[in-house]
Amino acid sequence: MKLYVNSKGQWAGTQAKAKKIGAKVTEVPTDKPGLLAFLNKQQQSPLPDLEPQVVPRVRKQHIQHELFDVADRASLQDLQTVVYRYLMKVDDELDLKKVNQ
């Protein structure tokens, strides 16, 4: 099945919606085992075929306000994914420090 995703992690199911959010096409499996594997991979790795964004330098206070605004608009599922990825990175970082000591 073809779905569309942009660099912000927003998904669309139609070409019209994909154009509005600047998304690229990606293949998603339709069988249950394949779909579960695909979704688990999405939580653990960057989004497929996406170019990194260049973030301009802005004041710290502006970034904090922007992050809170985005968090207020995000769904609970999106927030859960972000927190999960963040905690996995923290866990990996702590494991690296333990090994190096």
The full set of domain ranges for the chain reads 1-54, 55-101
Please, which residues have CB within 8 angstroms of residue 25's CB and are 6 or more apart in sequence?
Answer: 2, 3, 4, 18
Question: Do 35 and 29 meet the contact criterion of CB atoms below 8 Å apart?
Answer: yes
Give the percent of the chain with pLDDT over 90.
0
72, pLDDT greater than 70: yes
Residue 79 to residue 70: CA distance in whole angstroms: 10
Vertex 28 angle, CA 85 and 11, to 5°: 60
Q: Pick from 47, 55, 43, 66: which is nearest to 9 by CA?
A: 47
pLDDT band with cut points at 50, 70 and 90 for residue 91: confident
Output the average pLDDT for the chain. Answer: 77
This prediction's pTM: 0.40
What phi, psi does 72 have (nearest 5°)? -65, -30
